[in-house]
Structure 1
Amino acid sequence: MTDRIHHRPMTPGANYFEALVGGTDPALVSEAADRAAQLLVRGTREVGDAEVADRLLHLADTEGIETIAEVWSGSPADSLAGCLWRLYLLRSWVYAEPVRVSREFEAGRTAQVARVVAGVADPPGPEQLKAMVDEVLRGIAGSDFADVLLRAAAFARVVATGRASLSDRTDAEVQRMLVLSEQLETAGHLELEQGLA
C-alpha cells in the first residue's frame, strides 16, 4: 500500500473571483435596484420637473422592459423597486395588448368603486387605457406615490373582475391580475402608513 500525498486545498484570492465570468452578484443587483427606485420615487418628487416625469414614463421604452426586469423583478412587492417593476409591467402590457386590456376592463366595470378610482374614460377604449396608465406613471414624479399605487391597484382589480367574467380567460390569468392588484393595494397602504423603502 502506497502512502497518499495530500495537498492543501486551494484558497483562491480576490483576483480569482474577479476573473470569473458569469452572472452579476445578486446582492449588488438588489442594492442597485433599491437605490434606483429611491431616486426615481423620492428624488423626482423633490424636483417636480415635467421632463423628469416624462423620462420616467418612457424608461421602459428607452431602456427596454428586459433591462428594468433584470434590476427590479426580483424585488419584494412591498418595496419601492418591486412596486416600480409591477407598474412598468402593467404599462408594458397595456401598450402591448390595448384591445384585449380594453375588453377585459369593460367586462369588469361591475366593480364600480374601483372603476371610479382607476380614473379611466367612459367608455374605456385602448387609447383611453394607454392615457390612464401613462397618467398613473407620471404621478410617480408629480404626486403622492400611494395614490399612484392605489389607482394602479384599482385598474388591475377591474381587469381581474373582467377576466373572471370572460369565458376565454383561465383561472390562472384571473388570479395573476388579482394578485397584482392586491400587491399594489397593500403597497399603497404601506406607503400611506410608513413609507416604502
Structure 2
Amino acid sequence: MRDFHKPQMPGKPHFEAQPDREDPAETAAAGHRIATLLVRGPRDEADQQLVDRVLHLADTEGLSTIAELWAHAPADTLAGSLWRLYALRTWVHRNPETAAHEYGIGKPFAPVHEVLAGVVDPPGPAEVITLVDTVVRGIVGPAFDVTLDRAAAFAHIVGIGRAQLDSGDPGSAVRLVDTAIQLRRAADLERTVGLH
C-alpha cells in the first residue's frame, strides 16, 4: 500500500505545459471540457474524495488558474456558472465577517431568498462559510440547478445588504445582484435544457 498514491486533479503546471496555452479559443475549450467533467462526469456516490477536491479546487489550483479557464465564459454556460460559484466562495472565505454582516442586513429585505439560501440564523462568519462550501459541494451532486439557486439567493441577499449599508461603492452591490440574476438564469436553463 505504500506505493499507492491518491489520484490528483490536473493542476496549474499541467495547464501551463499545454501547447497553445495563449490561444483564447483553446483556453475556452479546455475550460468547457473541465467544467463538463466536474458537473457531468462519472459519479460514484461513495466518492467523497471527488467532492472534497472540487470543494477546494480554488484553494489548491488558485483562483487565477480558474479565472483563466472560466472567467470569460458566458454566464449561461457551465464554465461561466462555475466561475461565479468559485468567485463567490473565495470572497466569502476571505471576508466571512463582511459576508455575514451584509447577509444579516439584507435578509429582512429578501425573505424568500433567505429560505432558499439556507443560512442558519443568526448568520455568523462560520455559517456563511458553511453555506458556500455546501453550495460548491453541490456541483458534483444530482441537483446542480438547486446549487445555482442557493448561490443566487445568497448573492442576492448579500448584494441587498451591501446596498443598504451604502459602502461608498454602489457598483459592487449592483454587481453582486447581477451575479445573483445570472446564477438564477443558469439554474433555470439547467432545469429546462441543461447548461452546456
Normalising by structure 1, we get a TM-score of 0.86
State the one-letter code of the partner of 1:85.
W
- Residue 51 of structure 1: how far off its partner (Å): 1.1
- Residue 168 of structure 1: how far off its partner (Å): 2.2
Partner of residue 144, structure 1 = 143
For the Cα contact (< 8 Å) 2:21–2:27, is it kept in 1?
no
Partner Cα separation in structure 1 for residue 21 and residue 27 of structure 2 = 10
* Residues 1:30 and 2:28 are matched in the alignment: yes
State the one-letter code of the partner of 2:186.
A
What is the total number of aligned residue pairs between the two structures?
176
- Residue 173 of structure 1: how far off its partner (Å): 1.1
Note the alpha carbon deviations across 1:160-191, whole angstroms, 9 max, x for none: 11011113242201111010000000000000
Partner Cα separation in structure 2 for residue 151 and residue 169 of structure 1 = 27
Partner of residue 102, structure 1 = 100
Paired-residue identity, %: 48
The counterpart of 1:80, out of the listed 70, 78, 81, is 78
Unaligned stretches of 5+ in structure 1?
1-20
Note the alpha carbon deviations across 1:123-181, whole angstroms, 9 max, x for none: 00001100010001111112300000000000001011101111324220111101000
Partner Cα separation in structure 2 for residue 160 and residue 73 of structure 1 = 20
For the Cα contact (< 8 Å) 1:163–1:169, is it kept in 2?
no
For the Cα contact (< 8 Å) 2:70–2:80, is it kept in 1?
yes
Normalising by structure 2, we get a TM-score of 0.86
Q: Which has the larger radius of gyration?
A: 1
Partner of residue 10, structure 2 = none
Q: How does 1:153-172 map to 2 (within 5 A)?
A: 153-172=152-171
Partner of residue 58, structure 2 = 60
For the Cα contact (< 8 Å) 2:35–2:79, is it kept in 1?
yes
For the Cα contact (< 8 Å) 2:114–2:153, is it kept in 1?
yes
Partner Cα separation in structure 2 for residue 195 and residue 80 of structure 1 = 9
Quote the RMSD (CA, aligned, Å).
1.4
Unaligned stretches of 5+ in structure 2?
1-18
For the Cα contact (< 8 Å) 2:119–2:127, is it kept in 1?
yes
Note the alpha carbon deviations across 1:11-65, whole angstroms, 9 max, x for none: xxxxxxxxxx996111100110000000000015x33321111100000000000
